Amino acid sequence: MSRRSSALAALLMAGAALAAGTAARAQLLPSLPVGVPSLPLPGATRGLPVVGDLLSGISQSEQQAAIAPSLDRLGVAPAIGGLAESSLAELRRLRLGELVRTNRETLEMGQGGAPVRRGVLIAIDPDAEDLARAARLGYRVEAREDLGGLTSVTLRLPRGISVKEGVKQLAKAAPGMTLDADPIYEPAGGALLPIAGAVLAGASPPPVPAGKVIVMIDGGVAAHPSLARARLVQQGFAGAAKPTGHGTAVASLLVGQDGQFRGAAGGATLYVADVYGGSPAAGSASAIVRALAWAASKNPDAISISLVGPSSILLQRAVAILAARGIRMVAAVGNDGPAAPIQYPAAYPAVTAVTAVDARDRALPEAGRAARLDFAAPGADMAAALPGRGYAKVRGTSFATPLVAARLAATGSAQALEREVAQGRGKVGRGIVCRTCRTDPKVVGAK
């Protein structure tokens, strides 16, 4: 067996091991005995930074909702889409700063203004000598994971040393060791705080799932009538899986079926990898890589990733391993406008990069800058499920991504998918996929 083949086989075994003993119990997905929840901004958002003239074009409530996580926000406010590039960039800076400010025990600001896990570094495929050098400087091994041809060692930094300082210190002491921070990835439109009172969706698939298999890497999925008959299994990679508004919306766009509401991959088996555990301060590269290993063990037809963040050596290598296995991955380009940094994993060559269009086939002006743009799909003027019951209007590249993943799973290749695209206006890559997959908010009473 070749080195690459053995690495891929090991990755699949690692993913299967992560999932062992966690099969969901078969049950009819319950709906909550409540209406659409009224969810105010959480207490953590008090004392938000004062915004300047760059954001004067949107209301104070819209500014707060865009800067701080909010349970009732599923996407980008339309007014934000009309902001100038410089204003969108400022909004991103404020939002990421607020995430770190409200989670100082677990996060710090890394290179390029991207939040990273506080006090830890990831050593990739380190040898014993390099780890011994780190230990002599006071670094200790907190976790070690063999992810199949890819060994990840989490090093706890000595007290009082920042991640940036730790990288410099170890680069000098052990120049041959590959090191990286553990960056945090955000949902590409939406909030990830846990939904109070929501019931986690969970229905086991049959032993041999029929039809297509899709994995989504996101927040947890809540029960909803549109998911009552779905073949759906959830697994947590940042603690126990917890229902979120963002994850529920994305799952409904994949496998939801409820009256006039139809997901783009109805009948498929959906595996949900929750990399947040209900906390917006989670969603690290290391959690996403563990989720990818689990995803690979399911032999999926496509993986949908509605998350954005900086490049990570660990994540890049894991994506390359899955791509060599022939596993198709789809990711959002984000919603911080063309002046924002290029976002990953969408920018990796092996990943299908997705943007969003509105009901008039126009690319959303707030869509992120892409290193390479493959396809667009509906991502505004559309409805998606709310936890429990009811529907919400959604907007963002997060919600276009599952539609492209569904069609990629159905067609089997980007080349085949290209044959069914429609033309659009603006930057839409090769064209619009799943153009008729949008559910008009009016027909389902979306708010």
Q: Which residues are catalytic?
A: 218, 246, 398
Q: What tokens does 10 get?
A: 């090991």
3-state secondary structure of 60: helix
Residues whose CB is less than 8 angstroms from the CB of residue 370 and which lie 6 or more positions away in sequence, other chains included: 333, 342, 346, 347, 353, 355, 427, 429
3-state secondary structure of 172: helix
Q: For residue 345, is the peptide bond before it cis, meaning its omega torsion is within 30 degrees of 0? A: yes
Rounded CA-CA distance 318/123 in Å is 14
Question: Is residue 215 within 8 Å of residue 250, measured between CB atoms?
Answer: no
DSSP character string of 226-269: GGTT-EEEEEESSSS--EEHHHHHHHHHHH-EETTEE-TTTT-E
What is the 3 state secondary structure string of 331-346? EECCCCCCCCCCCECC
DSSP 8-state class, residue 35: -
* Angle at 310 (CA atoms; ends 309, 316), nearest 5 degrees: 105
Q: What tokens does 248 get?
A: 């529920």
Residues whose CB is less than 8 angstroms from the CB of residue 363 and which lie 6 or more positions away in sequence, other chains included: 355, 356, 357, 376, 424, 425, 426, 427, 428
Residue 411 C-alpha from the chain's centroid: 23
Tell me which residue has tokens 């060994």.
151
> At 403, which helix (H) or strand (E)?
helix 397-411
Taken as a whole, the chain contains a residue count of: 447
Residues whose CB is less than 8 angstroms from the CB of residue 397 and which lie 6 or more positions away in sequence, other chains included: 188, 189, 306, 332, 333, 334, 335, 354, 355, 356, 364, 367, 368, 379
Fill in the amino acid letter for 441. Answer: P
Rounded CA-CA distance 389/380 in Å is 20
Rounded CA-CA distance 57/84 in Å is 9
DSSP character string of 334-392: -SS-TTSPP-BTTTSTTEEEEEEE-TTSBBPTTPPP-SS--EEEE-SSEEEEPSSS-EE
Residue 408 C-alpha from the chain's centroid: 18
